[in-house]
Amino acid sequence: MIEVADPTALAAAAAEHVLARTAANRGRVAICLTGGSSPTRLYQLLATESYRNRLPWHRVHWFIGDERFVPANDPLHNMSMARAAFLDRCAPPENIHPIPTATTDLTDPDRAAALYQRELQSFYGADAIDNARPLFDLVLMGVGPDGHIASLFPDDPALDETARWVVGVPRANVTPLVPRVTLTLPTLASCCEMLFEVAGTDKRAILTRVFAGENLPANRARSTGETFWLVDRAAIPENFGGR
């Protein structure tokens, strides 16, 4: 765990991880973003001049770990939030890879999942993940109040999915109660680095459970490379002994 003072410091630390991962790979870089509110400051920071000038935008590709299956103009839409915060201003449009969203022609989250799986496989250049060649350079993560990550909720059979890269989730466990589309654990694990961002006193209760080792999705999500937890002081469990 990496402790930081507050959400501002957390965004700055996360931005350094983004820079370090893009610098470590001289070729095409793949970053898997997360939704929810935790990464917003990071996304806004990446659009500021000092970071904007330091990122090799032309060779960085942006994916998303899960999506709320709503139209793209819905305020709940994760990739639209990331687009508004930084992508639309900074990234070449062809480097932005959203999960297909709900439209009148696309009403089934499983269908959207299958389409995104195909997009990921074509980017990766293979239909099966090779552990020696990670799909993503960096996967960003948040943790929900029930210990979910991406849209993989506790006790959902989707947690045990090993064949599909992306699945539809008909029912969310927490608000917003809309269907989701999510990358599966093996897909998210295929990265050089997984970086959790956790801030605020609201997260203290779930972090206490996660750090106690409870069987929660947050404890099953691990990179085949490195996994880091960036946590601000307010979120750190009381009497925390270290991790």
CB 102 within 8 A of CB 161: no
- Is 34 among the residues that bind ligand 6PG (CB under 6 A)? yes
Which DSSP letter does residue 141 get?
Answer: E
Q: Which of 7, 42, 66, 232 binds ligand 6PG (CB under 6 A)?
A: 66
Rule CB under 6 A: which of 180-239 touch ligand 6PG? none
Quick one: 32 or 91, whose CB is closer to ligand 6PG?
32
Give the binding-site size for ligand 6PG (rule: CB under 6 A): 15
Mark residues 117-156: x for contact with ligand 6PG by CB under 6 A, - for none. -------------------------xxx---xxxx-----
Mark 194-224 as b/e (b = at least 16 C-beta within 10 Å).
bbbbbbeeebbebbbbbbeeeebbbebbebb
Quick one: 25 or 44, whose CB is closer to ligand 6PG?
44
Mark residues 71-90: x for contact with ligand 6PG by CB under 6 A, - for none. -------x------------
Q: How far apart are CA 157 and CA 163, in angstroms?
A: 13
Quick one: 82 or 135, whose CB is closer to ligand 6PG?
82
CB of 28 to ligand 6PG, least distance (A): 24
- Is 37 among the residues that bind ligand 6PG (CB under 6 A)? yes
CB of 60 to ligand 6PG, least distance (A): 20
**Cα separations (Å) of 165 from 93, 105, 199?**
23, 23, 29
Which own/partner pairs from 151-155 qualify as long-range (CB within 8 Å, at least 24 positions apart)?
A: 151/66, 151/67, 151/68, 151/180, 151/181, 151/182, 152/66, 152/182, 152/184, 152/185, 152/217, 152/221, 153/217, 154/216, 154/217
Quick one: 3 or 146, whose CB is closer to ligand 6PG?
146
Helix, strand, coil percentages for the chain (3-state, nearest 5): 35, 20, 45
Rule CB under 6 A: which of 12-31 touch ligand 6PG? none
Q: Which of 3, 9, 36, 72 binds ligand 6PG (CB under 6 A)?
A: 36
Quick one: 57 or 76, whose CB is closer to ligand 6PG?
76
State the alpha helices, DSSP H only, in 107-236. Answer: 109-124, 185-189, 204-211, 217-220
- Is 168 among the residues that bind ligand 6PG (CB under 6 A)? no
Residue 191 backbone phi and psi in degrees, to 5: -150, 160
Residues that bind ligand 6PG (CB under 6 A): 34-38, 66, 68, 78, 142-144, 148-151
